[in-house]
Amino acid sequence: MTDSTPLPKSIATVSLSGTLPDKLEAAAAAGFDSVEIFEADLLSFDGTPRDVSRMASDLGIGISIFQPFRDFEGMEPAQLARNLTRAERKFDVMGELGTDLLLLCSNIQESTVNDQARAAADLSLLAERAGQRGFKIAYEALAWGRHVKFWRQAWDIIKRVDHPAFGLALDSFHTLALGDNLTGIGEVPGEKIFFMQLADAPRLTMDVLSWSRHYRNFPGQGDFDVAGFVRDALRAGYRGPLSLEIFNDEFRAGPPRPMALDALRSLIWVEAEAGHTKLPPAPVLGGFEFIEFAVDAPAAERLAAVLGTLGFELTGRHRSKAVNLYRQSEVNIVLNAEPDSSASEHFVRHGPSVCALALKVDQVAPTLARASALLSPTWAERTGPGEHRIPAVREPDGTLLYLVEPADAAAMWTQDFNLAPPAEPKPAASLNIDHIAQALTPGSMDRFVLFYRTLFGLTPEPTIEFADRFGLIRSRTMKSPNGNVRVVLNISESPATETARFVSEAAGPGVHHVAFATPDILTATQNARAAGLTALPIPANYYEDLAARFGLDDDTLAELEKRGILYDRDAHGDFRHAYTPSFSGRFFFELLERHGYQGYGASNAPIRLAAMARQRELGK
């Protein structure tokens, strides 16, 4: 299929929080073409369906469908008669709403009979009534329907009904949750697919009803191949709306405006992933060009001292601003103490902390165009005359993400900074950025996954969990295809965990640590200690257990313990890492040596969290 007109985008009102007007406004503001009116939202709304229609029309959005109608087919005759009366009442509502499409879910009642002919006969009556009034019915197989669970079963019945007012509704959740797919959809004429609902979800092992009601999320946030689903439906000729129907506990509690933006972003992305439209390409990432800390003068001095123990040297002073560059090997750390800047705003709110990251991208322009197409705002700091203007995008928590092409990087440093001559190389202790870790506010994991995945093509690794003394931490790593950029996202629902403290009002959002890879962690930690930095102290009990678990020899263990180095091993290799104490409770650094190992030392995270809690409690 070649590039073609984007399909209309729709969202069910149940996917967003707030009143019905809040939901309509959020959907319209984000740029949706239409909404599905979810009946419960209408019932609790203090206005007529006609008022809803007028509101939508004033906002410039349509109403794609009214839903759900339930439990119709295969009931005993008296109930069938009541159901037809019930349908007429809903047609009345549809007339007022100004939509011609009603979503009908397959019957979940125990009393519905398992008889396709009977179901088809009942549904023919419904189709006839709908058709007479100019309405259409989109019939959807619920994954927990009593007899009709798969879209092919729904389609078999639709063929029997054989009425122009009766067609198919596809829903990616119901299909993919059952391990099914759209193989065979080619048999369905495109115009008989009346509607398509999309939802992603994490792959969970639980009853499908609870899974559906609590854990759906936007395409790109979960584990389902929603793009493949869309591709198959488009191949079959579907050209109706791509519509989101998301039941998610966190989304229900989140603010509707940013959620609606995420929603539309996910549809724009999945439509492109399905090959129907084209987005500017995601950049090829070369790692982090620099990491910028917001500081004031005293914090700058303290932080420069810590960086010094890790081998960083003051390499450049900005020509017009109170901004210094510290460099070790290829790693650039910028300390920004410029008043009246974005960094100073950040400092006032959060104290010393990471206020910006800079990604090395192969090309800036298409990356910005992609961000823009994906509804992500771009940004540029004011610059002095002749200075480099570095474009940026903003992460969901507001952290700036600068975009730098390799060709521009050197120019940027030389034009904007007075650079010192390069220091002698110290190969044994050379560093590069292995990964960064961000602590997220509760409820925002899916938002960050979507951001990194859609704008930058990072893919999420499986969610892991570990325990802090005051609650669980969930962790998910986003990784670029070439492995150059790895971002560990940590989140805690409990406000008392160390992770939650890193993200609280006091400590500021965003990056809580930067992990530097070194080819020789013994030397690196030795150098750091010689320069005055003591690694975060690790309890002796940990090393006792290491000995038991991994059978390390006594000399190795003694070395690790002496330097506060933690150890882990997986099927691919081993891993040594050590932490600096936290800087004013706001962030810290990690030194690591990696030999094939694929993880991030999560099994040691509880040890690190407890050690940091002790440090905090002792006021160190």
Residues belonging to the binding site for Mg(2+) are: 435, 513, 590
Minimum separation from the CB atom of position 372 to a second copy (A): 31
Min dist. Cβ of residue 263 to a second copy (A): 17
Name which of 104 and 373 has its Cβ closer to a second copy. Answer: 104
Residue type, 139: Y
The pairing of strands 193-198 and 166-171 is parallel
How far apart are CB 468 and a second copy at their closest, in Å?
A: 8
Question: Shortest approach of a second copy to residue 520 CB, angstroms?
Answer: 27
> Looking at beta carbons only, is 18 or 286 nearer to a second copy?
18
Kindly state the smallest distance separating residue 71's Cβ from a second copy, in Å.
Answer: 10
Q: How far is the CB of 246 from a second copy (least distance, A)?
A: 13
- As annotated, the binding site for a divalent metal cation includes 140, 171, 197, 245
> Which residues fall within 8 angstroms of residue 262, CB to CB, at 6 or more apart?
218, 446, 447, 450
Extract the annotated binding site. 140, 171, 197, 245, 435, 513, 590
DSSP secondary structure code for residue 395 in this structure:
-
Q: How far is the CB of 469 from a second copy (least distance, A)?
A: 6
Binding positions for a second copy, rule: CB under 8 A? 17-19, 22, 39-40, 42-49, 82, 85-86, 89-90, 92-93, 204-207, 210, 213-214, 249, 252-253, 465, 467, 469-472, 493-494, 496-497, 537, 539-542, 544-545, 547-549, 551, 606-607, 609-611, 613-614
Q: Which is nearer to a second copy, 111 or 383 (CB)?
A: 111
Query: How, if at all, do strands 101-105 and 136-140 pair?
Result: parallel
CB of 101 to a second copy, least distance (A): 18
Helix (H, G, I), strand (E, B) or coil at 29: helix
**C-beta of 121 vs 613, nearer to a second copy:** 613
Among residues 392, 612, 594, the alpha carbon closest in space to that of 490 is found at 612
The answer to whether 338 touches 323, Cβ cutoff 8 Å, is yes
Which of 55-70 are b and which e, b meaning 16 or more Cβ less than 10 Å from the residue's Cβ? bbeebebbbbbbbbbb
Q: Which is nearer to a second copy, 488 or 605 (CB)?
A: 605
Contact call for residues 583 and 351 (beta carbons, < 8 A) = no
Dihedral over Cα of 211, 476, 502, 534: its sign: positive
Q: Which is nearer to a second copy, 90 or 319 (CB)?
A: 90
Contacts (Cβ under 8 Å, ≥6 apart) of 275: 1, 231, 234
CA 568/CA 576 separation, integer angstroms: 7
Distance CA 543, CA 308 (A): 29
Exposure string over 318-327, b if 16+ CB within 10 A, otherwise e: beebbbbbbb
CA distances (Å), origin 266, targets 48, 77, 259, 470? 32, 44, 11, 34
Nearer to a second copy, 118 or 616 (CB): 616
Residue 430 φ then ψ, to 5°: -65, 145
Residue number with CB closer to a second copy (248 or 518): 248
Tell me how far, at minimum, the Cβ of 526 lies from a second copy, in Å: 23
Q: Say how far apart CA 23 and CA 260 lie, in whole Å.
A: 9
Sequence-distant (6+) residues with CB within 8 A of 53 are 63, 96, 97, 98
Q: Judged by CB, which is closer to a second copy: 314, or 472?
A: 472
